């Protein structure tokens, strides 16, 4: 594998020395350069290509935010990481930071290594002639939704406040409506309708709420109908159903609550790459959907033929850039082919794949092409003894109420 080129930017020489030392083990895999200022780094970037930049935020002349904004405009394919302390000016910069991810100081070299390595590995899945052409047309990808970032901040506190969580949610009217709609449909048997986001948070649980907020905000960053053939509402419904099915199957498999939450979030986001492709490459995506309909094959197979990659890798790359937990990223990346996943996350990805397949197979009103998204043969034979239980859980459990949403 060719070495990756990483550029570090910091005005303090001590930080460089420490970094160089702690990243010594990466010498074989990374070619590292160090620049003492944003303007110096921009000069270096104009002469040679880099895969990622890691920048301090508080620097004289050009601060980290200004520097990373320049990178976003001039070198949009470079992964952008910001290094931040917890001083007040940095907290302010964090709110409008144009980085894909913010890492806290003092820098943890293992965290940095994993973050860069995993994200670039996913980007590498996208590199071939056709895909390079596609990526070159994607000028910029949206940032991690700000309300979600705030919500995570609150949830990471030692004692998160439900009142504060509901305040954050209430700031987005559309999101509040969606969450109240979801909670009232899920808990349809309650005698009184839930009308307050804090009651919704208590009923759904904070983890489910967090997944919903991320998915809703993510969906709302894209045009409502990027192309005529593509409905955002239908995609949301599909992702929600797959999320619910995934939870039901995970319960049958007696997975831990933590794993269930990861499964649910990954399932809600599994097809986010479709939105990116349809919004950024409308003409190609119209053609892909038409061909899938004509050939009666799954959309992702035509994506692979035409673009050299599928919405699974595209979505996973975006989520990885944003620093979502690796199991979620892998769940999205391998949801069509769980056997390609070699990590310990494979069992829960199999569940997402099964849930996705059931959802496509169950929907009588789905377009013809979608009904061809069937379960992978290897997965089917490996889970033969459990498939009936899984299907039953998806059809008749509490999920049937969730499905009315």
Q: Among the residues of 63-137, which ranges form H helices?
A: 64-74, 88-95, 109-125, 129-137
Residues 340-359 that bind Fe ion (CB under 5 A): 356
- The least CB distance from residue 366 to Fe ion, in Å, is 11
Q: Rounded distance, CA 230 to CA 289, Å?
A: 9
What φ, ψ does residue 298 adopt, rounded to 5°?
Answer: -65, 145
CA nearest neighbour of 280 among 344, 198, 223: 223
- Range list of H helices, 334-382: 346-362, 377-382
For Fe ion, give the closer residue by CB, 69 or 246.
Answer: 246
Kindly state whether residue 330 participates in binding Fe ion, applying the rule CB under 5 A. Answer: no
Query: Of 90, 150, 199, 271, which one interacts with Fe ion (CB under 5 A)?
Result: 271
Question: Segment 112-131, which members bind Fe ion (CB under 5 A)?
Answer: none
Q: Residue 151 or residue 288: which is nearer to Fe ion going by CB?
A: 288
Q: Compute the least distance from the CB of residue 235 to Fe ion, in Å.
A: 8
Binding span for Fe ion by CB under 5 A among 21-29, 154-162, 212-220, 266-274 = 266-274
User: Shortest Cβ distance from residue 312 to Fe ion (Å)?
Assistant: 6
Nearest-5° angle of CA 330, CA 185, CA 190?
A: 130
Nearer Cβ to Fe ion (162/306)? 306
Q: Cβ(142)–Cβ(221) under 8 Å?
A: yes
Q: Are 298 and 369 in contact (CB under 8 A)?
A: yes
Q: Which is nearer to Fe ion, 34 or 317 (CB)?
A: 317
Q: Strand 101-104 vs strand 4-9: parallel, antiparallel, or unpaired?
A: unpaired
DSSP sequence for 58-77? --SSS-HHHHHHHHHHH-TT
Residue 303 sits in the site that holds Fe ion (CB under 5 A)? no
Cα 371 from Cα 368, distance rounded (Å) = 6
CA–CA separation, 242 vs 93, rounded Å?
37
Contact flag: residue 253 with Fe ion (CB under 5 A): no
Q: By CB under 5 A, how many residues form the interface with Fe ion?
A: 2
CB of 122 to Fe ion, least distance (A): 16
> If binding is defined by CB under 5 A, does position 172 make contact with Fe ion?
no
Closest distance of CB 234 from Fe ion, Å = 11
Residues 243/211, Cβ–Cβ less than 8 Å: yes
Residue with Cβ nearer Fe ion (199 or 271): 271
Site residues for Fe ion, 21-80, by CB under 5 A, read none
| Residue (53 or 318) nearer to Fe ion, CB | 318
Of the pair 165, 351, the CB lying nearest Fe ion is at 351
Nearer to Fe ion, 69 or 304 (CB): 304
Q: How far is the CB of 393 from Fe ion (least distance, A)?
A: 18
**CB neighbour class for 60 (10 Å; exposed up to 12, middle 13-18, buried from 19):** exposed
CB of 355: closest distance to Fe ion in angstroms?
9
- CB 352, min distance to Fe ion, A: 9
Which residues contact Fe ion (rule: CB under 5 A)?
271, 356
């Amino acid at each position: 594998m060719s070495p990756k080129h990483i550029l570090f930017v910091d005005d303090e020489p001590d930080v460089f020395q420490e970094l160089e030392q702690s990243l010594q083990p990466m010498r074989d895999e990374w070619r590292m350069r160090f620049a003492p200022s944003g303007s110096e780094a921009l000069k270096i970037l104009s002469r040679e290509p880099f895969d990622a930049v890691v920048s301090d935020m508080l620097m004289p002349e050009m601060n980290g935010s200004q520097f990373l904004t320049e990178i976003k405009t001039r070198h949009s394919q470079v992964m952008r990481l910001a290094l931040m302390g917890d001083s007040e000016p940095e907290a302010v910069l964090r709110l409008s930071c144009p980085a894909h991810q913010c890492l806290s100081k003092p820098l943890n070299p293992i965290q940095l290594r994993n973050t860069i390595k995993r994200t670039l590995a996913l980007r590498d899945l996208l590199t071939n002639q056709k895909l390079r052409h596609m990526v070159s047309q994607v000028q910029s990808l949206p940032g991690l939704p700000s309300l979600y970032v705030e919500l995570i901040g609150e949830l990471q506190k030692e004692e998160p406040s439900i009142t504060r969580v509901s305040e954050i949610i209430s700031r987005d009217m559309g999101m509040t409506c969606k969450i109240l709609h979801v909670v009232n449909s899920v808990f349809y048997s309650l005698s009184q309708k839930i009308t307050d986001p804090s009651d919704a948070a208590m009923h759904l649980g904070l983890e489910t709420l967090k997944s919903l907020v991320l998915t809703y905000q993510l969906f709302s960053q894209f045009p409502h109908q990027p192309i005529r053939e593509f409905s955002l509402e239908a995609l949301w419904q599909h992702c929600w159903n797959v999320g619910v099915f995934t939870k039901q199957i995970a319960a049958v498999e007696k997975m831990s609550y933590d794993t269930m939450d990861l499964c649910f979030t990954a399932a809600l986001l599994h097809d986010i790459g479709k939105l990116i492709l349809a919004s950024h490459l409308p003409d190609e995506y119209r053609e892909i959907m038409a061909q899938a309909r004509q050939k009666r094959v799954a959309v992702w197979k035509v994506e692979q033929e035409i673009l050299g990659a599928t919405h699974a890798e595209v979505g996973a790359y975006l989520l990885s850039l944003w620093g979502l937990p690796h199991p979620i990223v892998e769940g999205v990346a391998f949801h069509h082919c769980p056997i390609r996943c070699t990590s310990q996350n494979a069992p829960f990805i199999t569940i997402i794949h099964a849930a996705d397949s059931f959802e496509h197979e169950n929907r009588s009103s789905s377009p013809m092409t979608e009904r061809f998204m069937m379960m992978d043969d290897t997965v089917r034979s490996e889970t033969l003894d459990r498939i009936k239980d899984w299907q039953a859980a998806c059809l008749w459990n509490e999920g049937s109420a969730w499905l009315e949403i």
